[in-house]
Structure 1
């Protein structure tokens, strides 16, 4: 069982926010990386959803990616109405 499934089993009202270093093809990344396989499965199964924000959160040379995510279950996710990213 993966960590996201364990968290969901503890409390299915959850929001997971952070620098997960995850790329998700279905959310606009060029590919799903190894770290993204578990969250991608949960997204595909409808267990969690993702805030639909296409801002890149990592840039290096010519490479850009979204590595920071807001994932959560409904109805909690529906309360998020504004997302801002700030450069470091």
Structure 2
């Protein structure tokens, strides 16, 4: 979290895309894990937002979760389309 805040101070144009292994029950996963709590804190700060929908990106047997994320900082949100 502190790393993101430091990077944001240098340049507030940020896009983060990847398999973060962060699960949030509010975003389609069955539970929230520790990484999900960290991600939620970052989202709550309002510096960055989730750009994609809450579709699950991992399925195995009866388990589904959203592990892959596309996040964008406020200055770039209007330029991100067709996700």
| TM-score, length of structure 2 as denominator length | 0.81
Please list every run of 5 or more consecutive structure 2 residues that lacks an aligned counterpart in the other structure.
none
Is 1:68 aligned to 2:68, yes or no? yes
Equivalent position SS for 1:71? strand
Please list every run of 5 or more consecutive structure 1 residues that lacks an aligned counterpart in the other structure.
84-88
Of Structure 1 and Structure 2, the greater helix share is in: 2
Equivalent position SS for 2:74? coil
Q: Is the 8 A contact 2:15 2:71 kept in 1?
A: yes
Q: Is the 8 A contact 2:27 2:66 kept in 1?
A: no
Deviation at 1:75, TM superposition (A): 2.3
Q: Is the 8 A contact 1:4 1:39 kept in 2?
A: no
Q: Is the 8 A contact 2:28 2:65 kept in 1?
A: no
Aligned residues: 83
